[in-house]
Amino acid sequence: MHTSTTSTVTLEPWTALQLAQATQGHWHYAKVPEGPIKRILTDSRHAEQGDAFLALKGERFDAHDFIVQVASNGCEVAIVSHPVDVDICQLVVEDTRLALGHLGAYRRAQNPQLKVMALTGSSGKTTTKEMLGSILSRLAPTLITRGNLNNDLGVPMMLLELRPEHQYAVMELGASHQGEIDYTSNLVQPQVAGILNIGTAHLGEFGGRDGICRAKSEIYAHIAKSGTSIVPIVDDFSDVIRGAVQTEKVMSFGQGGDVFASEIQLQAQSASFDLHTPHGVRHINLPFAGAHNVENATAAVAFALSIGIGLDDIVIGLENATGAKGRLNFISDKQHLFIDDTYNANPTSMRAAAEVLAQQTGIKVMVVGDIGELGATAAQQHYMLGRDLVSVNGIHFVVAVGEFAPAMQEGARSTQYGKKLQAFLTQEQALPFLFSLVETHQPQSMSFLFKGSRYTHMETLMADLMEKL
């Protein structure tokens, strides 16, 4: 298991006493490190002198087995759930996973000046987080969730990066099981928090959208009483979400809410709209494509207003925001356009990506990998996706890759557009077909969009095709 901070900044050091206080642990044989501890790491490959290695234990691994290795690399401190026969300072705690949470909570409590926003949802979390980060980081030092550090291990790892100069924190909270968001939102203690939407991501773990809604709604339990709950208006579960709110102050976004967009103009790689807020109306030129990103922008505005940010600063931040890597990144290569949307996928975001591709020029090809974590509904969900993607007006070809590609092909064949979709079990099989498409349509320009769940590594197929052209 390698969940680790990869921060490039100097972190706040820890004393031996602070570590023991935070984790409620004890130093084995009273052997205590003398100097400050510069970092707490869970990745044995990076632990060195001055670090404390925290040994996590899972179903298929036990990082206690790596303590000999980290000691040989110069690391002199380990946080363990049981002592190990190694000459190293060992802080013994009841449970190392919970100890990591305690350390994150301790750091959060050390920074009472912090204004914390926490957000969750089935899709749009990363982009909304990046928009918020763009608004806030112009104004003051801001901690923003990095990569996928949004679960019960990643959130406390992010909190460990807090420093006294931070004024804002934007925390993305994900969930793969009931109770996870209750746990992480309790760690971050937000003043403003909310749900973006209830979709079909992680459908398998929660047994349906009702379960997803219950899991996500846990975020409202730990907002400061004087804080604000953010709620979506245009969502099937908006009434249920409202029922979970525990604060007096509520800010809604979406058509009919406190913050919404009108006069929306969707361009190939951007969007423009009139932003309506309780503080007035502003025109926004958004450097993100797709109607779903206009919705993400209104959510980001609701969060920013609730934390006290002025409308002028919000506009500047939105108009200068950049997307996260693998989130609708537009790459021009020769006469072709490649859209890298490979960071992750769920059925909702897959359909939204198709609409963005349809806005582009030339021959439009959508290359999709499997969507994970759909449980027993996986085949049915891929069938419906195949049916819907080939039906998007303007898309010429859909190339499905992976275990569920045949299910997508079945779905496509249930429509009059069945011939649009080609199915392949592996990337190696798909690559020659993609190359032949380019050769067949020369000298026409082509627009390719690549998307799939993280584990499918669709960026590899994109890179292979670009190299071959």
Q: Are residues 188 and 59 in the same domain?
A: no
The residue whose two tokens read 């404390």 is 52
Best CA proximity match to 254, nearest among 240, 267, 273, 270: 273
Distance CA(409)–CA(385), nearest Å, equals 9
Residue 3: the pLDDT is 39
Q: Are residues 311 and 333 in the same domain?
A: no
Residue 148: the pLDDT is 87
> Considering the domain boundaries, does residue 59 fall inside one?
yes
Strands 271-277 and 280-286 come out as: antiparallel
Contact, 127 vs 288, CB < 8 A?
yes
> Considering the domain boundaries, does residue 105 fall inside one?
no
Best CA proximity match to 211, nearest among 190, 240, 231, 239: 240
Range of the domain at 308: 111-319
Q: Are residues 21 and 62 in the same domain?
A: yes
| Sign of the C-alpha dihedral computed for residues 284, 288, 289 and 291 taken in this order | negative
Q: Are residues 463 and 352 in the same domain?
A: yes
CATH of the domain at 306: 3.40.1190.10
Residue 57: the pLDDT is 94
> Considering the domain boundaries, does residue 8 fall inside one?
no
> Considering the domain boundaries, does residue 4 fall inside one?
no
The annotation status of 290 as a binding-site residue, yes or no, is no
> Considering the domain boundaries, does residue 155 fall inside one?
yes
> Considering the domain boundaries, does residue 5 fall inside one?
no
CB-count exposure of residue 177 (10 Å: 0-12, 13-18, 19+)? middle
Q: How many domains does the chain have?
A: 3
The annotation status of 252 as a binding-site residue, yes or no, is no
User: Which residues in the chain land under pLDDT 70?
Assistant: 1-9, 200-205
pTM of the entire predicted model: 0.91
Residue 334: the pLDDT is 87
Distance CA(458)–CA(343), nearest Å, equals 9
Q: Are residues 186 and 302 in the same domain?
A: yes
Best CA proximity match to 77, nearest among 99, 92, 65: 92
CATH of the domain at 401: 3.90.190.20
Half-sphere exposure in the Cβ direction for 248 (13 Å, CA): 2
Residue 8: the pLDDT is 60
What are the backbone dihedrals phi and psi of residue 170, each rounded to the nearest 5 degrees, phi first?
A: -115, 110
Q: Are residues 153 and 258 in the same domain?
A: yes
Dihedral-angle region of residue 88 (phi above 0 means left; psi in -120 to 50 means alpha; beta otherwise): beta
Q: Are residues 310 and 227 in the same domain?
A: yes
CATH of the domain at 75: 3.40.1390.10
Distance CA(321)–CA(339), nearest Å, equals 18
Q: What is the DSSP letter of 259?
A: B
User: In which order are the strands placed within the sheet that holds 421-424?
Assistant: 329-333, 336-340, 446-451, 363-369, 397-401, 421-424
Residue 203: the pLDDT is 64
> Considering the domain boundaries, does residue 7 fall inside one?
no
Amino acid at 452: G
The annotation status of 272 as a binding-site residue, yes or no, is no
Half-sphere exposure in the Cβ direction for 329 (13 Å, CA): 14
Residue 1: the pLDDT is 31
Q: Are residues 244 and 359 in the same domain?
A: no
Q: What is the DSSP letter of 425?
A: S
Q: Are residues 274 and 376 in the same domain?
A: no
The annotation status of 123 as a binding-site residue, yes or no, is yes
The annotation status of 402 as a binding-site residue, yes or no, is no
> Considering the domain boundaries, does residue 439 fall inside one?
yes
The annotation status of 127 as a binding-site residue, yes or no, is yes
Residue 10: the pLDDT is 81
Q: Are residues 314 and 392 in the same domain?
A: no
**What's the pLDDT tens digit per position in 273-316?**
999 999 999 999 999 999 999 999 999 999 999 999 999 999 99
Strands 329-333 and 168-172 come out as: unpaired
Q: Is the peptide bond before 406 cis (omega within 30 degrees of 0)?
A: no
Residue 4: the pLDDT is 42
Residue 207: the pLDDT is 72
Residue 135: the pLDDT is 98
Contact, 1 vs 58, CB < 8 A?
yes
| The last residue of a domain, from among 319, 347, 369 | 319
Distance CA(303)–CA(362), nearest Å, equals 38
Residue 301: the pLDDT is 98
Angle between helices 405-413 and 378-390 (to 10 degrees): 50
Q: Are residues 77 and 122 in the same domain?
A: no
The annotation status of 126 as a binding-site residue, yes or no, is yes
Q: Are residues 153 and 226 in the same domain?
A: yes
